[in-house]
Amino acid sequence: MLDQAVRAIADLSGLDVIAFAPSASATEILRKQGFKSPATVQKLLADPELQRLASGKILLVDEAGLLSVRETRQLLSFAAGNDCRMILSGHSRQRHSVERRDALRILEKSALVASAALTRIFRQQVPALRAAIEELSQGKTEEGFDKLDRFGA
């Protein structure tokens, strides 16, 4: 999903999209998904050469739920001062920042930024597994695990 969204955004905007993530392991996943040279948010905030390359581009931050309020503030400040657009991808219920506070949840609840949500699960292709994951994603833990048990997972 993310790869297709990024291609469409780049085509429609005429701008390059550079991928970032809060952790090295998340950047490795982006790399495996075909993103060129993803870097950590911390590297962007500390590396003048990477900042120069990112200037004027669209910054995609995957797993944005892991960002702290401090990191998010620094990232938004960089984007505003360097003519960048930003896409924060993630889910505030999925993961939380190691540091105090939860920046993505705060941004979602403030309604100061435009947001979009996927409401259909595509990753699980087996209907029984998809139904279990849908239950889990809605906070219906017992029902979701019951479905996984019935499937033998």
CATH code of the domain occupying 2-118: 3.40.50.300
Reply yes or no on whether the pLDDT at 2 is more than 80.
no
* Domain boundaries of the chain, sorted by first residue: 2-118, 119-153
Q: Say what the pTM is.
A: 0.70
- Which pLDDT belongs to residue 80? 95
Work out the pLDDT band at 115, boundaries 50, 70, 90: low
Amino acid occupying residue 130: R
Work out the pLDDT band at 47, boundaries 50, 70, 90: very high
Q: Can you point out the beta strands (E) in the chain?
A: 17-21, 39-40, 58-61, 85-88
Reply yes or no on whether the pLDDT at 6 is more than 70.
yes
